[in-house]
Amino acid sequence: MKKNIILIFIIFIFSCKNYKSYDKYCIKKIEFINQSRNLIPSIVKIQIEDSNDSLKNLLALGKLKKVILYSVKANDRDFFYLAPFGTGKQFNIEGEVINLSLMTTLYEKEFGNRLSDIEIEKKVNGDIGLVVDKDTIVIKKCETISD
């Protein structure tokens, strides 16, 4: 009897692990674009690779509330806002890539920022969270294969 319970438990563990492997999305690129010369807020462009369309289908429902940059201090995360594209949507899809833009005034020189654009880009690069309804989807950087 104990052997059957252990066997069922092992099968359950492996089936759960296989289920998680179906989620195939990761951060392809995060880029900081300084717009202070144009008198508009700077932009953080995020590219997410979604090879099985699971994230695209979820975002298409229009329930994306917020993007969290985990590499930014918790107090500073409220200074990032989703920027709509020309279509009025919060995201743009090009093939397997989802593009998101966040507007921010956090790193403007007028507010006492002394960091260079390269230093700012290092600060915003990292894992992100997409808040959809009441859930948060954590997305990590894509693994690069080195030769």
Sort strands 91-94 and 97-104 into parallel, antiparallel or unpaired: antiparallel
Residue bearing tokens 């915003």: 124
| pLDDT tens series, the chain, 147 aa | 666 666 565 655 554 433 333 358 899 999 998 887 787 888 999 999 998 888 888 888 888 889 999 999 999 899 999 887 766 677 888 888 999 999 988 887 777 777 888 888 888 899 999 998 888 999 999 886 554
Number of structural domains found in the chain = 1
Are 103 and 38 in contact, with CB atoms under 8 Å apart?
no
Any domain includes 15: no
Any domain includes 4: no
Any domain includes 8: no
Residue bearing tokens 């229009």: 62
Any domain includes 75: yes
Any domain includes 13: no
Reduced to 3 states (helix: H, G, I; strand: E, B; else coil), residue 10 is helix
CA dist 61 and 86 (Å) reads 18
Any domain includes 72: yes
Any domain includes 74: yes
Q: Element (H or E) spanning 119, and its range?
A: helix 117-124
Any domain includes 146: no
CB-count burial class (<10 Å; 0-12, 13-18, 19+) for 143:
exposed
Domain that residue 104 falls in: 23-139
Residue whose C-alpha is closest to residue 77's, from 97, 104, 55, 54: 104
CA dist 90 and 101 (Å) reads 8
R_g of the chain, CA atoms, integer Å? 19
Q: 55-96 pLDDT, tens per residue?
A: 888 888 888 889 999 999 999 899 999 887 766 677 888 888
Alpha helices in 21-146 (DSSP H): 54-59, 117-124
